[in-house]
Structure 1
Amino acid sequence: MSLRDLFRQVMAIYEEEKREKLSKERRAFQLVTKAIPEKIKTLPFVEPDRYIVKGSVGQGVWTDVPWVAVMDQKVTDSTQRGYYLVYLFSEDMRRLYLTLAQGVTETPRDEMERVKKEIRQRIPARGRVQTDSAIRLGQSKRAKEYERSVAAYVVYSFDNLPPDEQLVSDLKTMMDYYRQYVETERMRSIEPSLSDRAVVEHIHSYITAKGFYYTQEEVMNLILSLKTKPFVILCGISGTGKTKIAQWLAESVGATEDNGRFTLIPVRPDWNDGSDLLGYVDIKSDFKPGPLTNVITEAENHPDKPYFVVLDEMNLARVEHYFSDVLSVMESRRWENGRMVSSRLLPKETAGRDLFLPSNVYIIGTVNMDETTHPFSKKVLDRANTIEFNRVRLDHLDFLRSLPTVAPLSGGQEWFAAR
């Protein structure tokens, strides 16, 4: 029997069977505790030596919200604690939710909110996966507790339950998010997080080891500017290392061109609109993504890692012409449900899906002010932090001597995210 048919059977008979005494012989009991878990266990991405699959309709009496959970044994072996994937049936049996939720029995309220916020920051809210608080299971106390525990979910209705292909695809997507968060938490427990001062000291040491001279205050200024706004302009005379400080900062936290987390985009004087940066629809009506769109797509898939984009000599063209869409979206960024969100950057009709500006993308523009460049409008300057580099140390000769090697650290988004 298909997974879809198993879910539909539960939703069709559960309310009627609840009127009778709970018994292991009841069809609803058999479906939720045996048939559905066994079906899920047959899926290739549900590794039997790692995941526990368990369902429940209550103990002694029927529960208002039956469930089927998939638990990573590295995290928990009980739905009373930890976080896990769980199918939750609404009290009226009209809706089924595939959720990433937490145990409500043994999890303190503040801890539950912290974990929920972290999960939502890491999961891109797109497609069928939702990260808001609009889940509605019912009016009972247990239903309300379950609602508060949910960080992300996919909703299905009884009248329009999708086929197995979609159900399995959704479960795999949520399993990937679950696995990603588990691994992130595991690495966090192994590598203690650095303080803000330690981050500055590491980045400054890394840049110095490359033979470049910047004061620690200059490095700190750049980091704080990125924390407060995702767009920073580095201006000054040619040769002061504006591009290099951005490149070495990114590399010091593990963001390189090789892994796609550092991208250098040279700006051309003939850029008149956003198509060269964001992409365009060709004569065949196919969307051709631009370099910034490619970065955004990657950043959405890895929300726990920072992505850096350098617009080199960005005022060779008029910034307010080719960058206006991005500037407007930057202004729309706001906190909702514990995560940073923005207005739409590109619509589904153009890009094939709605494209937003994720909070882990940081844009650094380098500019020279001479007769070949354009001045900035107030609109641009209002949306950016600006740092000036005009100091040149001709007597700094440390690059001539042997310099220590400083390894990059695998820095997370929390090093640069606004708090």
Structure 2
Amino acid sequence: MNPSTGTGDRLSSFSAHGASETVLVINSGSSSVKYQLVNPIGGEAIASGLIERIGEDDGKITHKFAGNTTRRVQDVPDHGTALRIVLDLFNELGPDLAAADVVAVGHRVVQGGSKFSGPVIIDDQVVEDIRSLIPLAPLHNPGHVRGIEVARALLPDIPHVAIFDTAFFQTLPEAAYTYAIDAELAKEHGIRRYGFHGTSHQYVSGKVSRVLGRKLEDLNQIVLHLGNGASASAIRGGVAVETSMGLTPLEGLVMGTRSGDIDPAIIFHLHRNAGLSIDEIDDVLNKKSGLKGLAGDNDFRGLHDLIEAGNEGAKLALDVYIHRLKKYIGAYHAILGRVDVIVFTAGAGENDDIVRSLTVAGLESLGIAIDPARNNERSREPRIISPDWTSTLVMVVPTNEELAIARQCVAMIDA
């Protein structure tokens, strides 16, 4: 690729720490490709984009660089086409990847099973291992495999690194990851708690240590990743000892469209009495449940508007959401024995002061509280929102999974 006129200047001016040694982070989903060019030293997202509706003739394309956003609609028949479009966008709109000195391509992979406990440089065997885990993540891993294969073919001279959502939770104690079902059946089919959002939980818990100026190994933390997908973790000394998501991202907290914890017999009940197939039940629990199932809206801004208008279903949805969060905080408090920090992160965790306030309300006897003024502050910076008297700090720490992936990539290729 030849540098475009002026691209180098725009790149240098956009990145406060220069463009040296960038990482291209790719997240290939079942029908989308999300990407970001990251400066792992300074932490800036130099450029980013999203290709949606892969496999359809009205694919949506968004590319952002140097304050400019380009949007297009065109046919994107497959992942190969999508990734070629990505490279064409960099070539046409900038920044030029050759000038950006891309040292690695980082691939987010949802399910690493028990095979992967950390990042790994991708070779043919790694691709086959990820492919073998498709039964554990049929909605995610196929897209990852396709994205990795195409990206390796298009960028063959750059190291490709796989970063697994599940890797951080490979430290869970056996008692925490084992389900109480037939042991041989579980072993044969890889049934255990894997946990997800691990890159976010690891990044945020490490960020807390740096912000507070305290050693990570001295801190017990509960991290609440509250996006459309939501998960909680208990982290002792930087090591995960519990997490809410399980074999799949469906277990645990109430989420935007996922049910979280339910009695498993509900599945049998829906099959036998409502006549729903397994696929239909899967669709209900993953896409038509959670806040959307209870209130018809999985965006907290819309939910709060409905509550203000007197919608009882929306109020119940928020009550159920908060109730589940409190249960997990209490359970993880018992597991950790001492909680130094509770951290809110991701969409609602970072931006919704009402959710934070309601989650912590009533926990004063545990030494947990929120200062209203601090909680209402609008900031993109990590901050403490608890009053000075509490024994447990409550913090808001923005997550940055792409930066975490980029830094792990650099650590791998430099090892």
Q: What's the TM-score bracket when you normalise by the shorter of the two chains?
A: under 0.3
What is the TM-score when the length of structure 2 is the normalising length? 0.25
Please identify the structure whose Cα radius of gyration is greater.
1
